[in-house]
């Protein structure tokens, strides 16, 4: 996705928000808030797959991302200009370790037919900067249903993989799949429940679907012979579900 595409999508999204703002600008205001939350992030699709790749006759590119369930946290806030609708945004950070590293390592070991492979893997990291519409609807005396639709940019970083090859008692060196970073359009939609424990503090439980599709260009070093998993581009969606628990400071009381 080019920068122009990202800007175009952002303009459409922000334009939609402005139209909604004007529709509700004369209504009674709801409760604005600033909050923090954290929870688990569950990757989906190819990004979460961990394929066993063996190739002795050439390189094999593989869409599986080996992303384990991660942790995510965010700082968010919204200004409610009507009883039910507000505008706001979030800054979110999530990190995902490499899962099934034994599968990755065994694939390299078998591809090079060696006595031992030592594989070290870092983590995916994603930072989101999103803005959009917030919705809040009371479903009981103190319990509210909340929802949001946000869009913006995500800055994502892939893990560094280091593979050390040993055979016949000789260390045959180390090769690396370098870490790569890219910024891309991202969105987040989700819903949850909000319960004020005191007048100014509410507890939020929510689930959000997030999506970004950075097209990473990945550098590999010390790959001398054509064998095994070899990823030079990764353009799979980084998508999944965040389940989070958080607290919010309620700024404007009705």
| Contact residues for another protein, defined by CB under 8 A | 36-38, 56-58, 70-71, 73, 75, 93, 95, 97-98, 101-102, 105-106, 108-109, 112-123, 125, 165, 167-170, 172-173, 175, 198-201, 222-227, 246-247, 249
Instruction: Tell the smallest beta-carbon distance from residue 176 to another protein (Å).
Output: 12
Nearer to another protein, 7 or 170 (CB): 170
Instruction: Tell the smallest beta-carbon distance from residue 161 to another protein (Å).
Output: 10
Nearer to another protein, 16 or 51 (CB): 51
Instruction: Tell the smallest beta-carbon distance from residue 66 to another protein (Å).
Output: 10
Instruction: Tell the smallest beta-carbon distance from residue 187 to another protein (Å).
Output: 22
Nearer to another protein, 165 or 212 (CB): 165
Nearer to another protein, 30 or 107 (CB): 107
Instruction: Tell the smallest beta-carbon distance from residue 64 to another protein (Å).
Output: 16
**What is each CA distance from 248 to 88, 127, 129, 163, 237, in whole angstroms?**
13, 21, 19, 44, 30
28 C-beta neighbours (distance < 10 Å), count: 11
Nearer to another protein, 21 or 52 (CB): 52
44 C-beta neighbours (distance < 10 Å), count: 16
List phi, psi (to 5°) of 89.
Answer: -165, 180
Please check whether residue 81 is in contact with residue 21, taking contact to mean a CB–CB distance below 8 angstroms: yes
Nearer to another protein, 82 or 105 (CB): 105
Take residue 152 and report the two structure tokens written for it.
Answer: 């913006």
Question: How many angstroms separate the CA atoms of 190 and 196, rounded?
Answer: 19
Please check whether residue 102 is in contact with residue 133, taking contact to mean a CB–CB distance below 8 angstroms: no
Instruction: Tell the smallest beta-carbon distance from residue 156 to another protein (Å).
Output: 14
Nearer to another protein, 147 or 167 (CB): 167
Instruction: Tell the smallest beta-carbon distance from residue 238 to another protein (Å).
Output: 17
Question: How many angstroms separate the CA atoms of 63 and 55, rounded?
Answer: 15
The residues that bridge with 149 in the sheet, in sequence order, are 133, 189
Please check whether residue 202 is in contact with residue 251, taking contact to mean a CB–CB distance below 8 angstroms: no
225 burial type by CB count under 10 A (0-12 exposed, 13-18 middle, 19+ buried): exposed
Please check whether residue 123 is in contact with residue 159, taking contact to mean a CB–CB distance below 8 angstroms: yes
The residues that bridge with 130 in the sheet, in sequence order, are 90, 152
């Amino acid at each position: 996705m080019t920068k122009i595409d990202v800007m175009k999508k952002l303009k459409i999204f922000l334009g939609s928000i402005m139209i909604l703002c004007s529709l509700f600008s004369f209504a009674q205001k709801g409760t604005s808030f600033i909050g923090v939350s954290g929870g688990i992030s569950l990757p989906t699709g190819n990004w979460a797959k961990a394929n066993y790749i063996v190739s002795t006759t050439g390189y094999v590119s593989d869409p599986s991302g080996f992303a384990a369930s991660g942790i995510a946290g965010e700082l968010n806030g919204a200004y409610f200009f009507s009883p039910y609708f507000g505008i706001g945004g979030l800054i979110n950070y999530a990190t995902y370790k490499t899962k099934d590293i034994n599968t990755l390592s065994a694939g390299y070991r078998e591809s090079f037919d060696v006595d031992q492979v030592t594989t070290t893997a870092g983590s995916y990291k994603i930072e989101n900067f999103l803005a959009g519409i917030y919705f809040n609807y009371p479903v009981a005396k103190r319990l509210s249903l909340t929802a949001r639709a946000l869009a913006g940019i995500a800055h994502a970083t892939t893990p560094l993989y280091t593979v050390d090859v040993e055979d016949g008692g000789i260390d045959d060196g180390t090769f690396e799949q370098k870490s790569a970073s890219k910024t891309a359009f991202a969105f987040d939609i989700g819903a949850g429940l909000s319960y004020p424990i005191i007048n100014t503090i509410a507890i939020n439980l929510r689930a959000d679907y997030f999506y970004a599709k950075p097209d990473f260009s990945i550098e590999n070093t010390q790959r001398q012979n054509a064998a095994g998993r070899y990823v030079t581009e990764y353009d799979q969606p980084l998508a999944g579900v965040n389940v989070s628990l958080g607290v919010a400071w309620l700024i404007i009381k009705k």
